[in-house]
Structure 1
Amino acid sequence: MRGAAADRGLATALAAEHAAVYAYGVLGARTTGRLRVAMTVAYNAHRARRDQLRTMIITAGGTPAEPAAVYELPVMPSSAAQAVELAVLVERGVTGAYLELAASADTDLRRIGALVMQECVTRSYSLRPEIEAFPGMPPRTAPEPTATPTATTSQ
């Protein structure tokens, strides 16, 4: 048996995967072309992770939570830009949900957590190439410009 913290981490990750599968279902239906292909790849990846988590919970003697019938999305995409925005938000949310697994005392759970977080960041970056501060870290700020000495004239 893994312990309460591991069980909680698995449940948190599973809830995030349920939401991600729902969101990518919406995104796949509202996109076309290469963007739809990217959304379908992400949908399949999150479905596979969801199924993996369900199996892990059942194997450990637990009962995995079922998905909600509907999830409230922060934006209902009506353009490619909004679809990308929602996908990036989903990936960031799933990344954060796996933090507890990445911090687990169980080496296998730590590995899974770290790998999934890497996958999510890679997917997000492929949609919008920008790096957000790691979850829990302060936001990145632009470096302050260094003052350059100027020549002064004496009078």
Structure 2
Amino acid sequence: MAPPASPAPSASTAGPDPEALTALQGALSAEHAAIYGYGVVGARLPEDQQRADARTALAAHQARRDSWQRLLGGAGATPSAAAAGYQLPFAVGDAAAATRLAAHLESRLTAVYADLVAATAGPPRATAADALRECALRARRWGAPPTAFPGLPDPATTPPAATGAATATPTG
């Protein structure tokens, strides 16, 4: 199933707000990492519905990346480039690990998009909220545990000082 088309956010509503631009760059960097990760996921899944789901997710993340690049460029910022490689959170040697990686990627993106929703207004905020929802649904589809508020730390298990989104670690 193809992801729903999201309208491209307009640059004029992003404005030069440094917090919004930082959050947009964070979303762009997270999408770069997710695209890399889905390359690994797709390589480890059998040629079946799961691989088709990975291709669909990859296409959705590429579209989001392109949208954030256009928005940042339109706001006068230089979009961050993808790293040559990214450190994976664990070894991915089989289909089960690939499925866990996909769930991990989507879950981490919910935190990035929660930050972006908080930092932006207007159409970019609505687009970020759509992205958060889509990532939360994909995370569940890949087997991530349900959360009451996707993208936000669980207050029962997270110490107060451990807030904020996790980011991918570029390599090379």
* TM-score, normalising length: structure 1: 0.84
**Counterpart residue type for residue 46 of structure 1:** H
Q: Report the Cα offset of residue 139 of structure 1.
A: 4.7
Q: What does residue 145 of structure 2 align with?
A: 130
Unaligned runs of 5+ in 2: 1-14, 158-172
Q: Give the equivalent residue in structure 1 for 2:37.
A: 23
Structure 1 contact 92–124 (Cα < 8 Å) conserved: yes
Whose relative contact order is higher, 1 or 2, with alpha carbons under 8 Å and at least 6 apart?
2
CA distance in 2, matches of 1:123, 1:96: 14
Deviation string 1:41-85 (CA, Å, 9 cap, x unpaired) is 111110110010000000001100100000000123222221111
Equivalence map 1:10-89=2 (5 Å): 10-32=24-46, 33-89=48-104
Alignment CA distance shift 1:105-1:14 (3 Å): closer
User: What is the root-mean-square deviation in Å for CA atoms of aligned residues?
Assistant: 1.6
Identity of aligned residues (%): 36
Normalization by structure 2: what TM-score? 0.76
Could you tell me which residue of structure 2 aligns to residue 5 of structure 1? Answer: 19
How many residue pairs get aligned? The number is 140
Q: Which has the larger radius of gyration?
A: 1
Q: Distance in 1 between matches of 2:85 and 2:17?
A: 30
1:70-101 CA-partner distances (Å, limit 9, x unpaired): 00001232222211111111001111111222
